[in-house]
Amino acid sequence: MSIFKNLYPDTYYKSAYTVDYEAFHDRGYKGIIFDIDNTLVPHDAPATAKSALLVKRLKKRGFKVEIVSNNEEPRVKSFAAGVGSGYVYKAGKPGSKGYLEAVRKMGLKREEVLVVGDQLFTDIWGANRSGLHSVLVGRISFKEPPHIHLKRILEFPIKLAYIIEKRLKK
């Protein structure tokens, strides 16, 4: 078992737009928590037609959707309004508080919620610490603030260890 296990996602997809949400729904998941930046849109971008359509499709399928972000309220509120979801801002990821608030707002149990995000040290670690199914997705854009670039460098050996362990288990 790797020392990085708490940072490993339960599932990996290339993009938030390629996740097999229907399969998750069929397995009993009823809620989805999304990160914003580089998960649904490039860093600091507003909601797009594509992101709004995804949330609309998921809600039509029966999912409850919340945005959980470490950003300030104006950014998160505006994005959530643009896609038609609830939100938690200044969530304190990788802490559990923001995730558990979103679960409470959806009125669901932890085992019914999955978290979709692009960063190991915030999205995935926070989801895992909160007892939620973590889905790591590839980032949308390489344009990011310097502190995020630093985290990407630190994430690399963990992602590599994750890939190696996955292949060894096959």
Provide the token pair at 5: 């296990």
Pairwise CA distance, residues 120 & 122, whole Å: 6
Domains of the chain: 5-169 (3.40.50.1000)
What torsion, rounded to 10 degrees, do the Cα atoms 80, 16, 138, 3 define? 90
The reply to whether the predicted model has a pTM over 0.85 is: yes
Average pLDDT over residues 51-74: 97
Pairwise CA distance, residues 122 & 169, whole Å: 26
Report pLDDT for 2. Answer: 66
- Specify the amino acid at residue 24: F
What torsion, rounded to 10 degrees, do the Cα atoms 104, 32, 95, 78 define? -90
Average pLDDT over residues 135-153: 86
Percentage of residues of the chain with pLDDT beyond 90: 79
Pairwise CA distance, residues 91 & 30, whole Å: 21
Is the distance from CB of 92 to CB of 100 less than 8 angstroms?
no
